[in-house]
Structure 1
Amino acid sequence: MKTVHFLVAFVLLASASPLALASDPSPLQDFCVGINNTGNGGVYALNFLFVNGKFCKDPGLVIANDFFFQGLNIPRPTNNQVGSTVTLINVEQFLGLNTLGVAIARIDYAPNGGQNPPHSHPRASEILLVMQGTLFVGFVTSNPNNTLFSKVLNQGDLFVFPQGMIHFQVNLGRTNAVAFASFGSQNPGLITVANAVFGSNPRINPFILARAFQLNPNVVKNLQAKFWNNN
């Protein structure tokens, strides 16, 4: 009987714990337009309420422009090493997103193989909409199967990347490609696999990575030098 009582208490505790949440917490009010501090030219935090890392702007001072953002129609340059530019609009760039559980990004891809390299979002699933061009996209499931789900997408096509899964996009066309990604979090987070592994600060011991990737340690050191400079 004591065991049963303990199990019941454990389940109730787990369900009530913030650690049991799997996504952004639900808002407890209509909105909470974020501000970065409490002394912003008369715009102050309502009772110093702190929600999702931001103070709330006084609702009486909220205006339509707090929910407005523009500029995602502007193409971004793609003349970099991976051939793409991601313009992420999360709560840091758009304070009106605070507590709403959404974010968006524009992705510009260079012709002939411009890519958004393998990466993951630890706090959100992603839905990708191709606006221009042809993309090869995919994600890999977790261990032990590591199954690749991939697809060629054309204008108007959608593809979903589940939360936390490593995924990528590559431009197959000879012209620029553009896609928009929507996220189920105001701050989805980003882990670029190559940067995280070879560009960490401080660096991971190259002999550890050499064994993990079955590479010569000198190859690892060369990769670390490249990604260290990029970061």
Structure 2
Amino acid sequence: PTIKSFSLPFFPRHTQFFPCTQGIIKLYEEQGKYLHAEHISILLEMISSIATHASEVSSDSSLHMKFHKACSLLEASEPAVVHFENETYQSYLKLLQAVLHGYPFLSEDMDIESRLLDACEKILRTYLKCTGNGPSDEASHGNQTLHCIVPLGAAKQEELSARTPLVLLAMQLLHNLEKNSFRRVLPRFFPLLIDLIRCEHSSGDVQHALYKIFKSSIGPMIEV
């Protein structure tokens, strides 16, 4: 089955699917109707592993320093490792969505929705860490000490801008959950959404996405 478009947020033009993830997506599109659960599971594990590796590369500060030093000596542009992470997670979410909507019964057996939510949570937490406002915990909620919010530096602002399309995609997926599914996962994601409200963002699109979630998904659950 062809993987349908889900009105994904815009990703920078210079980012392209890497051959491996592109090949996996193409294989599913062309041979999906012949694949069994075991085959689909292998494809998902492959992209998941690539996404995990991309995340590790993106968060490795020592590796970034080596890239910076080498590129400075060579007078070359530094590799866009954040975009590498974006692309792989976009591919992973795209395949999860395709399986979820294309094979409802198979999706339940393979716990596809849970995998999708795990990926969304990781994306939101990574974004929050980039803003300098990591996810809240019980200790921080109980601490009444006020802290100044230090503006992000240029490098962090650039990284935040690069991560924005992916966090918008994760928020869109949460917003599109069925009512009962959203109600079930709200306790898990509500603290993250609250943390997003108090963060500095590079784009007003994040605040708009938050507004949509609170208005159309959370609002109706609040009894007047």
Superposition TM-score, scaled by structure 2 size: 0.25
Instruction: Report which of the two has the higher share of helix.
Output: 2
Superposition TM-score, scaled by structure 1 size: 0.24
